[in-house]
Structures are given as C-alpha cells and as structure tokens.
Amino acid sequence: MTKKLIALTLCLAGTLPLAVQAQQAGSTANFGPSMGDREFSLSGSGSSDRKFDSTNFGVSGDMGWYLRDHLILGVRQSINYADIEGENITNDFWNGATRGYLNFQTTDGRLRPFGGGSLGFIYGDGVKDSAFAGLEGGLKYYVLENTYVLGRVEYQWFFSRSSDAEDAFRDGAFAYTVGLGYNF
C-alpha cells in the first residue's frame, strides 16, 4: 500500500509543472491591448552636473490607437529644457518635437518588442526649426494586464525640404526614452 501511495504522489507531483505551465500560458493572453484599444505613455529624462549649474530634462507623452492587435498609430509630443552655464554661455533653452508614429509590435506575452517609424517637426531655442523622419524600436514589458514599462530608441534625421531628407540621414541623432504606459 505504501509503494502505491508513493507512486501516486510522484505521478501527481509530476503533473504539477504541466499545470503551472498551462496556467502561465493562459495568463499571458490577458496582458496587453486588443484592436480598438488606446494607450497613453509618459516618459522622461534628465541630468545635472554636481553643482547643478547645468541641468537638462525632457518629458515625452504618447497617445496611440490600436488599428490591429499588433499595429498602433499615434501622436507623440516631447518637450526639453536645458539650463547651460559655461564659458560665453549662460542661457536657458527650450525645444519641442511633435510627430506621428506607426509601430508594429508582437502580440503575445508580457515582453513585447516593437519597431516602426515617425514623421514630425522640431522647434524651439538652440535647434533649427525643421521637419524630421525617424526609425524607432524598443520593448514594452507588461507589469499588470494594462500597464507596461517602456524603453525606446529613435534615430531621427532632420530636413527643411523633402529633397534634403535622403542626404540628411547620415547626419541624424538618437533619442532615448524610458517610461510607463497604460492601455484603455
């Protein structure tokens, strides 16, 4: 009788990993958006020297609409401030960027890589007001069913006329973002 009880216990214990795996696979289906959902994210960055003489910070907000479970169309607004002190420089600089974006992201699991492109305008102090195009990629990790942590890298190139866009690609700039987002 004891040998049968031990064998039955081992058989039941052996099915436990399968049950846990099935539960985890089912639970990931609840994470992330569906077609027709919207999302909002808020990101930021900043730095200062040790005396706080030179400081900069930036904030970026995104509002997007899921055209499909894996395809999002949105608008992004960024605002940046820099207070720079140095030799022959004492000034505050503000600039902003407004752009539309289209991203494709994977649709399964908590970790969702994405990639896409953007098109918009940059304006303000210390920058030449111009149009820009960008390529972007990043990761979203869902910490809750509708809430995620975001990391994104954009490569942007600036141009005044559409004929300048191809040549400007070599002289682009990178923009990095870390933030939080919510689907609703």
Q: Which tens digits make up the pLDDT trace of 102-128?
A: 999 987 789 999 999 999 999 998 788
CATH of residue 142: 2.40.160.20
Distance CA 104, CA 8 (A): 48
Query: Model confidence at 90, in pLDDT bands (50, 70, 90)?
Result: low
Mean pLDDT rounded to a whole number for the chain: 82
Q: What is the pLDDT at residue 29?
A: 58
The number of domains in the chain is 1
Do 73 and 115 touch, CB atoms closer than 8 A?
no
Residue 12 lies in a domain: no
pLDDT tens track for 11-29: 445 544 444 444 444 454 5
**Is residue 56 predicted with pLDDT exceeding 60?**
yes
Do 115 and 82 touch, CB atoms closer than 8 A?
no
Q: Which residue has the higher pLDDT, 92 or 179?
A: 179
- Percent above pLDDT 70 for the chain: 77
Q: What is the pLDDT at residue 126?
A: 74
- Give residue 150's domain range: 37-183
Q: What is the pLDDT at residue 101?
A: 98
What single-letter DSSP state applies at residue 135? E
What single-letter DSSP state applies at residue 48? E
What single-letter DSSP state applies at residue 70? T
One-letter amino acid identity for 58? Answer: G
Closest CA to 95 of 163, 158, 2, 147: 158
Residue 166 lies in a domain: yes
Residue 31 lies in a domain: no
Residue 13 lies in a domain: no
Residue 106 lies in a domain: yes
Please report where in the chains the tokens 């700039």 appear, as a residue: 173
Residue 161 lies in a domain: yes
Query: Model confidence at 167, in pLDDT bands (50, 70, 90)?
Result: low
Residue 53 lies in a domain: yes
Residue 28 lies in a domain: no
